[in-house]
Each structure stands twice: as structure tokens, then as C-alpha cells.
Structure 1
Amino acid sequence: MPTDMEMALRERFSVSLNESDALLSSDEIARNATGANVLFVTATEKIDANVFRALSPTLRTVATLSVGFDHIDLAIARAMGIEVLHTPDVLSDACSEVALMLLLNACRRGYEADQMVRSGKWNGWAPTQLLGIGLVGKRIGIFGMGRIGQAIAVRARAFGMKIHYHNRSPLAPALAQDAIYHSSLKELCRNSDVLMIAAPGTVELKGALDHAHLNALPRGSVVVNISRGDIVNDDALIGALTEGHVFAAGLDVFANEPNIDERYRKLHNVFLSPHIGSATHETRNAMGQLLIEGLAALRRGERPSNLLS
């Protein structure tokens, strides 16, 4: 965890850390956390029924340094009376900034440009060199218009983009701010020059962006994913990028992280980043503080706003 957060935790708890930063299996988490009252985790740790049962009855609270909580078996947590805290709201700005970073680099061929300069193959300016896609007047389709999606829309409007979106239900007009609602993902794809995936990670959405939805995108479109890697069907996206139906992609999340599909590494029209959506000093410290304040509220017998169960 960030240094400030670890210091704050040590002031309040007897703390045992995963000093190696290795990704731990559920069994390893259960062994290392034996006797713990509170389990601090991130989106990379799977907290399943086996972990809950192994740490019962000592474990009282799981605090996850993430907005998403699909890595935690909430049904089991509720059944066992274990509280689960997460970190909504405080990372919307940071994640939306990375979304625009990915969007700009995908549209303006950022990876190719960087490699050209670093490799020494740049021979100077040329009128047709690395022609990309401009944003003014383009339609951005936001799949998942929650807090992060709305923050992305604010920034996309500043670039002159037209906002379209798909949610389970339309936003209130004050929140939508004239964004155009589409009742299905396929209809959104048909009306998107850029498809921005910002939907929450759920079992139901696994593989949602498949061949059919990618084919519904206009030829030459761009795909950006800051949500969950498994929402995207890798075979479908890689095929669309290779064939040229999708001009480029910007990806911050992947299925089976960090063991991503090797084919992405060989594509020049993909800008890749290592799941850094909330990676600013300010945001990570704010996330940690939100969890610490939530724990303090629970111990006072109050219900914090970031309590899931």
C-alpha cells in the first residue's frame, strides 16, 4: 500500500503486510491472514468462500482498495455477517484522466510515435506521417455512465466530442446533460466512433464486447477499456484490430492480469497500460483514507457510505 496509508494503518492496527507484493492465491491469503479482524485487499485478490470460511470467526471486515467488488463473494460475506467496504467516488477523476490518455494515444497513434522516435527511425516531419483520428465532432459511446463514465463525458465534451451512452436505464436529464441514451450495447456500438468501456465488472458482462458488437461499430472506430478486462472478448478485438475494422485500441485492463494475451504485445495499433486508472498519489491516499474512516465508523456503530454488506 502507499506509504501514507501504511503509516495510517499502523497507527490504528497491529498490521501484517504482504512485503513481497506478490499476487497471492486464495489459499495463501487465508494462511497469511489467520487471526486477522480486518483484511485489506485490492482488486487483484480473490476473496472467495474458502477465504471467508478459513478466517472465520475472527474476520469481521474486508476493505478493498477498489470501486469494483466482483473479486469478493458478497453473498458469502453477508451470510457470515462480514462487512465489506470499498472506495467509490474518490477515484473518478483519476480514472477518467487515464481514459482520455488511452483515447488520445489510440487515436493519435501514440505507441507508434514513441517507438519511431526511440528507435532512431524518425527521419523528420512528413505530411502523411502517422495520420490519426481527430476528436472534434466524433461520437464517443460510453458503456457505463456511472460516476467514472460521467467524469469521462465532461472531459470528452471539452474535446468537442458528442456523448452517447448505454446503461441499464437512462440518467436523469441533469446528469445526462444532453448525452444520447441507447437501450442496448449493440445500438450504442452502431452510434460510436469511439467506444469507451467504463461499466462495472459483473459476471453478466463477461465477454460482452464480442464479435457481434465489434462488427456493429463503424469501420475505423476506436475501443478503449478502463473497466474490467474480461468484458472484452480478446479473440474478437484482436481480430478486429488485425483486420482493420477497429482502427486502434487503448487498454488499461486485461483478462487474466498480468498474464495478458500475448497477441496484444505484437499489435502496433494498441496502446497498453498496466491497470493504472487510479494510480496517483492523491487518489490512492484518498482511497485508503476512505477505508480507514469506514472502519472507524463501523467500530462506532455507524453505517459508512462505502459499506457494501
Structure 2
Amino acid sequence: MVTFICRKLARGHCYIPENIHLTGKTIIITGAASGIGRVSAIELAKLGAKVIVGIRGKSRSETTAESIRHEANVSDEKVIGYNLDLSDLSVVKAFADEILSHEERIDILLNNAGTMQKSHLLTADGFESQFGTNHMGHFYLTKLLLPLLIRSEARVINVSSMMHCVVDDRGIDYEFQCSPYRPIHAYAQSKLAQIWHACELQERFGCRGISAYSVHPGAIMTSLTREMPPFILVFIRLLYYLIGKSPYEGALTSLYCCLSKDVKPGEFYADCKQAEASPIVYNKTLAEECWNFSEKMINEKTH
């Protein structure tokens, strides 16, 4: 039986599985160059899993994989780095093709990567940058890997944020107005979309073996905040001072959803326990609308 280790965090307690082995398991983590993604990669590699990290830039991904192998003290084949730029659907497709041509199973897909922007930018495919990177890139990657995920009865974990609560009950504005551009609102919309993505994955494919979750890692000062306007950065630093977590603490909820037998598919987690999301999360009509919009956009951009 799996025992549990208790770690006290800023709010409550966090429990992650101990004495568990992942030999023979394959895990994909997006955005593992730093922060909670890197911590997750190291910890999962230590448990014996084969960890594939998707990081922007071929050289950077290989260098990061080498560094993670060294810190986890594992062999070369245990951590592999591939180029993955979630803001470019053609690169997402190339990454997925690498996985599908080399891997026979995927046990866990940890959609961890994210971006914040202080000004209105577009991805290579013309999406608003935060929505395009945080949601659309992961949506497309998951879609491409779905047959293998189903065959492997995999877990899919989307790293979202409590910032999704900023979005009002009208839901996501798919026009993505650039004037005036509200970076926090755009970020919040992308994080709400990630929760809806997990909910719809579970609704549509849970009966075929998929187990999907979304998580709030907590207030963490990482490189993700480097593009925020100065006045917002001051607020984030104050929040971090009051209730902040280290990257290791922030990774615990992701690890919990990766490893625990106690998690409930389709739910939202924070501090290693089921959490209450914004009421809009439970609006099935809007969740389905987000899925359909994402499918439509992917089909338009990739066909």
C-alpha cells in the first residue's frame, strides 16, 4: 500500500505518494526548463519514469534534459528533451510526431508550460499569445497524442491557476480585443480554458481510459512573471510574500495528481486536495463551447 508524506504549505497540508516506483512508465512534461515543471521532471525521474521534456529550442531542450538527468542521478535514456514551442502549431505537430514514432505508451501528460505577456501579441498561427500558448498549444498536443493516451489509459494534468476566477460569468471573449489589452484578463481566460479542457477530456474520453485533472499550483515567483507590467509585478511579489510557495511546494499538487490513487478525474485541485473553482467552471454549455471553438480553430489552422 502506498504511504503518504505530509508537507505543510502556506495553506493546509499537502500529501504526495511515497515509496512508489514508476519503472516502465513514460511521462511527458511541457515547460520543464525551470520552476514547477523542472521540479516535477526531476522528482518523477527519481521515481524511475522515463521523462520526456518539451522545451522551446532544440539545444535548450537537450541541455535541460542533461541537467535534469544529473540532478535526478539517472541514466541518459531516462530523461529526453525535444523542441516544443506551444505558440507554433507546426512545432507542436513535429513534437507529437517524435513522440508517436518513438514511444509505445504515455502514462502521464503534464501540460505544465505557460506564458504571461504585458502587451497584445499574436502566436505564429494568429492567436492571442496567452490563450494560444497556454491553451491552444496544449489542446492541440493532447489531441494529437489522444490515441496513444487512450491506449495507455493515461492521466492528463493541466496546470491552471486560481486566476481563472477573474473571468466573469459571460465566459471567454473569443474576439480577444487588443485595445484596450488587459493582460491579466487574457491570462485568466487561458487558464479557465485549461480547466474546461480537462473537464471536457474527462467527459468525452473518461469512459475510454483517460483520467484528466486541472491544478492550481499556488502563488509562485518564477520566470513566468517576467513579462508582467511593473505595477502588477509589485502585487505578485506582495502576494508571494504573504502566501507564496517555492517551486518545489508549487509542484506538489501536480505530482499528487500524477501519482495518487485518491484523486477524482475531472476535478480541480489545489494544495493536494480537491478545490472549489469559480462557478463558471461548472457551466457545461460554456465548457463545450470552448472545446468546439478550439477544435474549429485547430482545424482551420492545420488543414
**TM-score, with structure 1 as normaliser:** 0.35
**TM-score, with structure 2 as normaliser:** 0.35
The structure number with the bigger radius of gyration is 1
